[in-house]
Structure 1
Amino acid sequence: MKANGKSGNIKDLVQKEKCSVLGLQETKCDSFFRCLVCVDLGKQELWLCLCDSGRSGSILLSWDDSVFFKESEIKGDHFCGVVGLWQNVNKKVGMINVYNPQAQVQKTKVWEDLSSVIQSALDVIWVILGDFNAVRFPEERMGSNFDSKEASDFNNFISSSGLLDINFCGRRFTRFSKDGSKMSKLDRFLVTSNFFSIWKDPSVQVLHRSISDHCPILLKVNDFCMGPKPFRGFDSWLGIDDFQKTVLSSWSSTSFLGAVDFVLKEKVNALKKDLRIWSKKNLANESKRKDEILKALFDWDSKAEKGGILAVDCQKRDEWIFELMLLENRAKLDIQQKSRSKWALEGDENSKFFHNFVNYRRRRNNIKGIICNGVWNSDPLVVKSAFL
Structure 2
Amino acid sequence: MDILPLNIHSCGRGHKKEWFQQIRRDFNPAVVAIQETKCGTIDDSWMESVWLSPKFKFKKKEAVGFSGVMFLIWDTNTFNANQAIKGEFYLVIKGHWVGIVEEIAIVNVYSPHSHSKKLRFWKELESLINFKDMLWIICGDFNEKQDEKNVKLTLKNWCGSVLKNLDSDITEHAKTFEKWDLIAESRSLTDAELSFWLNERKIWLEKEKLKLNMLKKKARIKWALEGDENTKYFHKFIRHRNNKNAIHGLSINGVWSEDPKEIKDEVFRYYSNLFKRGSSINTGSLNFNASLISHEGNEMLEAPFCEAEIWHVIQCCGSTKSPRRHRFNHKFYTKYFWLIKEDLKIALDWFWSNYEISRGCNASFITLIPKKSNPVALGEYRPHHSHWKLL
TM over 0.5: no
Q: Which has the higher helix share?
A: 2
* More relative contact order, 1 or 2 (CA 8 Å, 6+ apart): 1
Q: Which has the higher strand share?
A: 1
TM-score under structure 2 normalisation? Answer: 0.38
TM-score under structure 1 normalisation? Answer: 0.39
Structure 1 or 2, whichever has the larger Rg, is 2
